[in-house]
Every structure is written in structure tokens, then in C-alpha cells.
Amino acid sequence: MDTLTSADLPLGETAPPQTSARPFVREKNGRSELILAVSGAKCGGCLAKIEKNVSALEGIDHVRMNLSTGRLVADWTSDGFNPDRIIETLNGLGYPSKPFDPDLVDASRQKRERGLLLAMAVAGFAAANIMLLSVSVWAGKGEMSDATRTLLHWVSAAIAIPTVAFSGRPFFSSALGALRGGHVNMDVPISLAVLLATGLSIYETIHHGEHSYFDAAVMLLFFLLIGRFLEARLQRQAYKAADDLAAMQAVTVSRRLEDGSIETVASGSLGVGDTLIISTGERLPVDADLMSAEASLNTSLVTGEVMPQLEPQGTRIYAGSVNLGAPIEVAVATTTDDSLIGEISRLLDVGEQKRSKYRQIADKAAELYVPIVHTLAAVAFIGWFIISGDVRTALFTAISVLVITCPCALALAAPVVQIVAAGRLFRANAFLKSGDALERIAACDHIVFDKTGTLTELTPHFDDTEESRETLNLAAHLARASRHPLSRAVVQAACPGPVAENVEEHKGLGLSGLIDGKEARLGSWEWVSAENGAAPEDNVSLWFWIDGSAPAPLHLTEDIKKGAKELLHSLDELGVTYEICSGDHPARVEEVAARVGVQNFTGGIKPVGKAERVDALSVEGHKVLMIGDGLNDAGALASSHAALAPGGALDAARTASDAVYSGESLENIATVIRVARSAQGRIKENFGLAVIYNLIAVPIALLGFVTPLIAAIAMSGSSIVVTLNALRVASGKTK
């Protein structure tokens, strides 16, 4: 299972013992590879530290860490290398790890999310009750007896101490792990502030002091747990795309043995040269060479091509293609890891790794925050101890500095905007999936559109004109006896009617039958043309012939999705450029581009080619927003700076994207961009407000004019201001 630090584990559980990595090493092309689940890495600095130290191990050739999924992939060629050294190195750095098992990762992350939710609920309930007691103490000042006040402090302590121990565990464990690894993170000053405020409150309560600060400690935990929970919920979806592709390949298939018998085996056990029997409707799990005379294939997942493809013997068929005709025999050309889907999986992993290195504004601010706050608190303690000679006064001031500068507003600045923006997008039928998606979408200046399923409807239809109506109705007599996608399209376009007699389906060619006693055919030009002459220049994919008449074409048309032209107009206003990049036939891509008004377009491009186009645009300096819906788009979706997918997209495409949009109009895409840009502005404003607040509050705290209680109130006030500013995303029009 995925290994977690105690900060990441559900509350009440402990980290599992270290497991040997040797049984999990995979041998591939003369190289050894190990995939580990690493926990505790939360920012670009953690990622760089992990990759640098693991790469420094003698014998290691390559190391790749994916911050979003928590996966680390290391490979080597040295026979004597001990893979346990990688785990030992990571543990020594404060990032516990264990061999990766995708079957249990999501369950462990869900447990962590539930644990954070429970901790947040407990802290919120405790904060409300302690604040009620604090209000009683404040209101009764001058009238309440010392004994009564002390009793209320003890009641607050009874609520706060177990709450701090329970709800503070994610921060305490994370801070302890960082300190053991020889570095600090944002959880270190948080833990110090909470523990010192709680400890000082206990001291004051024992000595019948006038003030206690249990409310400050618990309220601080509650606010910070809100941000931590939102972050965990958004990040849990980030790693699913590669697992979806792996599940697509983790199937069983029929393999023909040398003696002619058939056995069912897992696709992962296939070897190059194995003979497979692919039944009607079955998807190929590996790349293979066609051994049968011909095959009718649906390659839409691979190329985006909406029309079924008739392929001759010897053709290379790619994983993900579906056999539409009679059962076929193929020879395995690659293993699952080296197939087209395997290559797309690697593109996804590389793309996710690239995105995981994206440094959000909060990460940049955190790098400066920790050393500055620690220095200020230390200066406050030393300075006031020298001035007053009183440890208690010096400690009060230092705690006030820690609490008043505690990164509550800083921690909420981005998450609260994200959740408000997510609600705004939800009302616009768009669903945010990634924590840092808003920042990346807002930065995009160029869009790469897929065609089929993105700009056009997935199901094509036949032109319904007066000239074609009679032909369609007659062709439907044959089509009603077939489940072929093109036959279904003919039936949908035609009027209701009978089924032809003696209908036969001819593999890779079409249909034949009798209509009112006349022989009729529906299919390719070669099939319907009795003379089998050269195809006309206006050749189309489907023809109909009935005895006594010449072959008639059935013209296929793709419907442009509603709002396409309005979307492009909005993109022009937003200053965003765009192009179409499709695996469909170049002629159809050109036709669609002309209809919607896109000047730049490319057709007949393979999945890897799409990802390469995105990378080329990135090299040119563009921040690319990729929009696609198919397996052939998944690699480009992951490689882009940000990605969107329609609601009807393939699972791998949806999970590789940052947001999913639905609804009747493509204008939702423009709404996503506008909201993202508005949210980016609010996030920057929130950090600006946090900086202004600290510039005012810190000097006052350093001069000793702020008690921990006032510091807690000020800290809460700053968080409220940040939240109110974030609500501006949900109101009014976005630019």
C-alpha cells in the first residue's frame, strides 16, 4: 500500500514498518526499475531534494519523482545495486516510502482525507465552545471572582488539550519529520505557535492568571485544517490517469498455442510473436500485426478517426483499437509496457511530473515566511528578556509574534479562492479537479483543440436533403439489420421502415439483401459498384446501390457543437490564440476548421505527435491549454500547462485534465478561463493583504503591545478579510 507519514495517516494509525524493495524490482530491457510511493513531499523544494539525493546514490541512472501522485521511479543497470538503499535514503530525508501498489493507494488517500475532515470537525466544535467560555470571562471582567474565572479556564483546558493533541497531529508529525530530515517547513512555526500558546495557557491557569489562550490555539488549528482538507480533496484526483490506462491494459485475451488450442491469459504475460484471437467488439491490449486477410477497426481512441477503418493483412494495429468485424488473428508486436497505451502512460507520467514542479504563489511565499518568522520570534524573546529580565514577558511577546504572524491568512489565501471559484464554475457546468489548476489556466495564452468530441459531436450524421431522402430510406432497409456504427447512423437519419430480406453482412465490405425483390447493397464503393471501377472524385465512405439504379453516395457530416463560434470570439477578446490538432483525416479537419473559422489546423496526427506539438509550443514560450476527450489526447493533456476535457470524455482524458466542462454550449470554456483569471487576481490580492497585515501587526507585536489573545483575534480578522475578498470571484462578471 501507499506509505504515509503519521501526518498523512488517518488519525489513530501509525506508519507501517519498512518493507524490502527487492521483490518489487522490475527487469525491463536490461534495466532494473523500482516504483515507490513517497509521502511527506508537498512542494517543489521537497521534490528537488528527493531527486538530488536519490540520484547521488552510486549506481542510480535515472530518478523521476511525481509530486502529484507521490510516485518515485528509479532505474539502474548495476547488478550489485541494493534497492533498499533508496528507501533508506528517503527515510533519512524525512520522506518515508514503500513499494508502490496502485490497488490500495486511493483507499489510503481517502482515509487521510476522512482523518483531516474529522480533525477539522473536532477543532471547529472545540473552538466554538472555548470561545463561548472566553466571552464569559471577557464580559465578566471586574465582576467575576478569581475562582470562577479559573474554573472556566480549567473547563477550556479540558476541551482544548485533547483537541490540540488530536487535531494538531497532522501538523506536529509533519514538523517532526521535517526536523528529523534536517529542514523546516510551514508546519514547524504552526506547531510552535499552537504548542507554546497551549503550554502558556496551562501555566497561566495553574497560577490563576487573568488570561488563557486556549481559544487562540484551537481556532488556529481549525482555520488551518480547512485549507489542509481542501488541498487533500483536490489532490486525491491528481494521480488517476495513469491508473486508468493501466486498467485498460490489465485484461485477459485469447492466445493460440502451437498445437492449435486456445488459452486465456493476462495481457501482461504476452510476449512478442504470440498469436491472439481478437473477437468482435474486443479491444486490443497491445500493439499487434494483422495476420487475417483484413479487419474492420474502430481506432477513434487512438487516432480520433470517427470512421471505421478497413485494414489489410500486415497492418500494425495499435493498442486501444476495437475489432468491429469478424474475429481476427494478430501477432503481438510489443509488450503492454511498450505499446501505444504504454507510451501514452509514460507521457502522462512525464506531464504530471512537469506540472508537479509548478510552484504556486503559496510555495514561493512559504520559502521566505519560515526563516523570517523564526528570526522575528527569536529576536522578540531575546530582546524583551534583555530589556525586562523577565522570562514570562519575553515568552509572551515571542508567542504573540508567532501567533500574529501565523500563516493562517497565508494558508487560506489560495484554498479559499479555489473553493469559491470551484463553486462559481459548478454553477456554469464546469468542475475543477486540481488545486493549482486555476493559476495555470489563468496563465495560458494558446489553446490546442482536439476536433472530434471537442469541437464536433462524437456521432456523425448523414446529410438529410430532398435529394438524399429516398436513398437514405432505402439504405435503411439494409442498415436496420446491422449494429455497425455507420449503419446505426443511417437508421437514425432515415424514417421508420421495414427490414430488407436475406440481409448478409460481408466482412470489411458492407451489407447485401433484397428490397421489394430487388438486390441491394450498402457499403464501400468497391462493394456496391458492379463494375468495380475507379471511385469517383467525390468518393465518400458509404454508398448505396439497388438493382436498376446507379450507386448513390451517402454524405457524412459532423455537427459543430453549439457555441463554437461564440467561444472563438470570446477567445479573441481574451487575447488567447488557438489551433486544431486532430488524428482524424486531414480533409475532414480542414472542413471543420473552415466551418468554425480556425486558421491553424493539423490532421492525421498520432497521440505522440499531439504531445510533441504541445511541447514545441511550450518551447516557443506559449502556455498551452489543451482541450480533448480521447485516449489519443491524454498525453497532450498531461504535457500541456493546463488541460480541459468535456464531460463525455474518456476516463483517462478526464483524469489527465484540470477541469471538466459540460452543458450544451462550448462557451463554458471561456467561462473557465475568465473565472481562472479572476481567481488569480483575488489570490494575488489576498497575499498582498496578508503582507500588509503583517507589516502593520508585526512591529506592534515586537514592541510588546499585543497579547497572545489580541494576536489570535487579529489573526482571525485577517483570515476573514481574505475570505471576504475571495467571495468576489463568485459575484459579478469576470473579465
pLDDT value of residue 53: 87
Q: pLDDT at position 103, please?
A: 53
Helices (H), 65-186: 84-93, 102-139, 146-167, 169-180
Q: Given pLDDT bands bounded at 50, 70 and 90, which one contains residue 507? A: low
pLDDT over threshold 60, residue 715: yes
Direct distance between the N- and C-terminal alpha carbons of the chain, in angstroms, rounded to an integer: 45
Distance of CA 502 to the CA centre of its chain: 51
Sorting pLDDT into bands at 50, 70 and 90, what band is 308? low
Pick the more confident residue, 338 or 518.
Answer: 518
Q: Which of 207-211, 260-264, 642-646, 669-673 has the lowest mean pLDDT?
A: 207-211
Q: Do 37 and 100 contact (CB within 8 A), yes or no?
A: yes
pLDDT, average across residues 677-684: 84
Residue 160 pLDDT class (50, 70, 90 cuts): very high
pLDDT at residue 157 in the model = 92
pLDDT value at 464 more than 70: no
Residue 593 has pLDDT above 80, yes or no: yes
Check whether 606 has a pLDDT greater than 90.
no
Residue, of 245 and 37, whose pLDDT is higher? 37
pLDDT score of 575: 93
H or E stretch at 638: helix 631-639
DSSP string, 4-40: --TTTSPTT--PPPP--SGGG-EEETTEEEEEEEE-S
Give the whole-angstrom CA distance, residue 611 versus residue 656.
13
Percent of the residues in the chain that have a pLDDT greater than 70, as a whole number: 72
Average pLDDT score, the chain: 76
| Residue 146 annotated as catalytic | no
pLDDT score at 366: 57
Q: Which of 342, 299, 305, 357 is nearest to 51 (CA)?
A: 357
Helix (H/G/I), strand (E/B), else coil: 430 = strand
* Alpha carbons 488 and 309: distance in angstroms, whole number: 16
pLDDT of residue 458: 63
The full set of domains in the chain, from first to last, is 22-100 (3.30.70.100), 430-458+560-679 (3.40.50.1000), 461-557 (3.40.1110.10)
pLDDT tens, 419-462? 777 777 777 777 776 657 788 888 899 999 988 778 887 666 66
452 with 584: CB under 8 angstroms? yes
436-457: burial string, b at 16+ Cβ within 10 Å, e else: bbbbbbbebebbbbbbbbbbbb
**Bridge partners of 290?**
330
What is the share, in percent, of the chain residues with pLDDT greater than 90? Answer: 9
pLDDT, one tens digit per residue, over 71-93 is: 788 888 877 788 888 888 888 88
Which pLDDT value is given to residue 307? 61
Catalytic one among 274, 450, 629, 633?
A: 450
Q: At residue 710, what is the residue type? A: I
Residue 300 has pLDDT above 50, yes or no: yes
Q: Is the overall model pTM greater than 0.75, yes or no?
A: no
The least confident of 335-344, 461-470, 545-554, 583-592 is 335-344
What pLDDT digit, counting tens, does each position of 631-648 carry? Answer: 677 778 878 888 888 866
**Is residue 121's pLDDT more than 50?**
yes
11 pLDDT more than 50: no
- pLDDT for res 304: 53
- For residue 337, the model assigns a pLDDT of 59
pLDDT recorded at residue 213: 77
Task: Give the pLDDT confidence of 365-394 residue by residue, as tens digits.
Answer: 656 666 777 788 888 889 888 988 888 788
Q: Compare 447 and 270 and report the one with higher pLDDT.
A: 447
pLDDT > 60? residue 600: yes
120 has a pLDDT exceeding 50: yes
Give which of 706, 310, 230 is closest to 508, Cα–Cα.
310
287 vs 185, more confident: 287
Query: pLDDT at position 626, please?
Result: 92
Average pLDDT of the residues in 282-289: 80
